[in-house]
Structure 1
């Protein structure tokens, strides 16, 4: 038998049924299969083609599932077999499952079982959360309570009260249900109707009852009054009676200036406010024995009006007025008032309304002061002008870029404008005008700095201030007659000085004068009119044109009083130029003391710390002394200046001690240790500043400068330590000079006396400046006639850094030698650099020639 004609027998197993094939064709199919037309075995669908055939095979309420070569039966959803089987192949009848036995609906719902299924419906008073009528899955849908009260189920004059699954209605007070029931739920059957309370005697005798919807009212008959209460009544829970009204004629019953009230039994009399009974009783019943007389409240002025006020008694009352120099927001009758010192009076805020209230209070108080030449009056005017400038600028700072606003009140007119973000408008100037006056000013004068967030200018014209100040005079004593309104020209730039670009003010003359016209400004430092810094440009019958500039100075550090404007520009220029020069010299000196090793010693260490302290102090003074815009930052600047200048004096004292040890105690010259020097040089100033700030923190920063206040003598927190250090240094200076005289006398005998005197004088003056003794010139500037001391102080002390550089650097041979060496090294480096470049170029050219053979 060959492979080609061999008979192939293949055994195939399908679900435990064997099919025999011969030559690729089926001979007999197993159970669950039948032989198809192409002689292949095809799966037999035992379940049939319809539900009837399926039920005939499996039973009622079943489902038949055909499989390959077989089938199985299951009960329909909602049905179960009696045996509990889920899959079966014999005919079984499935019975209905009662799902409601397992509470599938949750609370507030009713379950209804059906053949093969169930459904849940919400109980009465509840509704499904999804709005459907019924549901089958309680995890998705629940029954929530219906608030029947939202649909007004009770009708009018009733109150609805909702409860879980239900509600109830109750009639409002004064109403009763038509069925007599206390509560009800069906308004179509039961309503609330009004109770006629007047059917019962609720008002009593001598009264008339008036029924109203839901209530009633009782009114006493003519000549009677209700007790208690005194008027119509209608509260049935409070018993009231109508009795004869004896207070109808109050004067006849109680007499004049008395109030009458009724009780159950009689009329009670009491004196009105401002009166007291002749017997001292608070109440009385017999006017023949007791009367009401005027009470004199002004016997105790403080109790009646408060402090700093005067009391004026009137019939039945009193009037209070504040004393001169004091003001109150309220002045009037029968009440104590708070009279505040005008010097402490401030607007509540920078709003126009609060500034206007402040102005009215101030003008009213100033008008009551009889002596307009008094120092108190002039200081009050200064305070008023300063506060108006400060708060008006705060209001102007709220404006947008180039926004201009005109405001007017009964007391003043103001025109203001602001610019922002360091942007100067085209033209560089602005003109502000009120009804009678105008101001032409440069924006550079307004801003002050190249960079700014906001810069504002304001022109304030006061409508009544000129009449209040008409009796004042110039600071020189010359009588003054004002012919225009008083104005304030306010700018955000605290350093208002610019003599090269003055402010132009134009005034409308309120009256014409044949006398010589002058332009004046109010100098707050002396509280008087002054012509300094102001000049007349033009004047005619209608207008006057003025040009004004004002400046400040470095001399404010030691001045025991405010420096006037008369010498401000000169002192300002001296201060600025001197400090800038000193800062440069101090910087060079610090580098010299640090880098020059040949001069390293205790002296150069002290020099270094002194220069650093003085450099920081003068730099902070230059950039921060006028930064008064923010009170907190100004106080911090003042505290730092206090600390740094005291540190300068501390190191100056160490300079004096070291000089004494070098010249007098030669053998102890190097006994000072750095840690102890730093402890004193920086610790002593810190101690003084800490104590000063703890005792009087308000003393740091003023309205004009970021320095110590002159009030309460707080400036002595700086001057007192300075005086002590100056006195000690003066002692060291005298001893040092005395020893130097002996040393000069023992020098080369061939040196002429003139040279010795010249050398001695120069050394003494230089050392005097170094040790800070020249600060005494600042303390000698007590009055205006000592202004020369301010000049001497400003010149010498602003150049102190330059003096240190000259004395310890330029006049020191070792330092000069180091400077020469450094200069020579720099020159040699430049020459070497040039030579190196030339050599490199030549070598490269030679190499190129050798390589190319040219």
Structure 2
């Protein structure tokens, strides 16, 4: 009770101190009012000013102690503040700011702005937000300031719900089985080879074209009405359909669609095309049975591809045969304008190789990506607009600038003329038989033994061995087109040696002919060991040096022969050219000398008979001396078919010409053949006739021998 009694005495000192301090403060700011209310500032000793965003009942500046500064509502109806379209004004104490109305946002991404000039409010695509709450059976549709949900194509509204509402829910329809039934129907039609065998190739390929076009149209239509974003079905016959369906505007960038037979990577803009609405459809139908309709279809190579192959194989490419080693893949989009795409589509197609074939293509074979092309004139496989990027682990990657039906083909390139190849094989086979007969004749017929026969014998041996190796092993069959194995290099080396040896013996034929016709002196020929040293030693030296300098020059991608790169082919062409030119000089000299001899022996010899004898002699010596190879020296362009055919025919039949010249046209050899035939058949009359003919011939020879004053020729 005592405390209240002392309160007045304590308050007076405190109040005094406060007044003293206040007076001291007023003395320092004698020009400012001491009573300005909150949210204001002092003007002078008798007036105050409200801060920006505040005002008093008397105005911005007031002098009454009873006034106060209150907040100004800039967002009020009478305010001059304007935030602009799709925006609201938000008042704050002493200020304001503007915000976009719900469903809109600033283009800059900021949360607020100050005045209408900063207004960039635009509609918000709620469907792009992860938290949009549309049911998975529906599609989100953006609306002005909001969104709606509608049923997907192929789905029906679930009972109790309304369409195009945020809570719309739908249920799927039973349209998947239509696609499955369609695929099974096609499989059934394509699995009946007996029905297809009754059709011609033209009818089969026409039917295949119609099937593919019809399937593309029907599948695109079914896909648009199909529920869900993707669908895959594989039939018991290994036909597989993969679909991807997305609403327009749902995708961006690159997209991939794949299944077990094929994969496709493309840009979203390529799939949608110029469509403004509706779903975007991507599909791949892979069918192995479709190959039954497309079997034996031709492959047309574009000009650039032929040029590339000719450069790789170093020979002319006349055409190609195609074998389908993958499923036929029908690729389609909702965009139907796919003849020339803005950006390429990348494919990866799985393929199978025939069990009888090796895993890697052989020379003159290649795995390529081709598409089925149909026009008014023909239906065939083509490669225009597509390029093969590579093959790995049973899959080939391709890139194309258009869409169609694709397949991986094993292309067999016709590098050489098939007629020319047949002539070569038949000609060499005939020559081998004739050369073998020549070798046996030169070994067994004693009356013709001599240095010239020795040269004939070894020439035939070299030609026989070289031709046999050529016929059996000239093609590089060691697997990869880029591989040259030991077998091919060995074959190339043996061919180099034996053909060079044959030409060396041809040069020795020229030497013997020179001594026989031009010099006409006995004892000037070479001995047998000298002949063998030249005939076998010179080519051995050339091949040895060539192999030591550039061993990898033996063998080519396609043929087991000398590689022309780096001038290595001149190790054969050089010596051959020298020998052919020398023998050509000897040939001309021989014919000239023979002409003189004919005139000297019998000046009255008829011109026709003289010309016939000279012609036969000249033709015979052409083949003996190897002068027919001069056609090969001028065969600079492999596409020059007249020279190619002439060169092939003349030189493949060289063995036949040697047999005719040295055996059938030689009277001593014919007599020996008759004697052998008589012994085999037991025909005594044949032996007697041969013996009598031989005796008469010897007597005639004795009578015809020239005397000392006659010409020994």
Query: Which TM-score tier does this pair reach, normalised by the shorter chain?
Result: 0.3 to 0.5
TM-score for the superposition, normalised by structure 2? 0.42
TM-score for the superposition, normalised by structure 1? 0.35
Larger RCO: 1 or 2 (CA < 8 Å, sep 6+): 2
The structure that has the greater radius of gyration is 1
Q: Indicate the structure with greater helix content.
A: 2
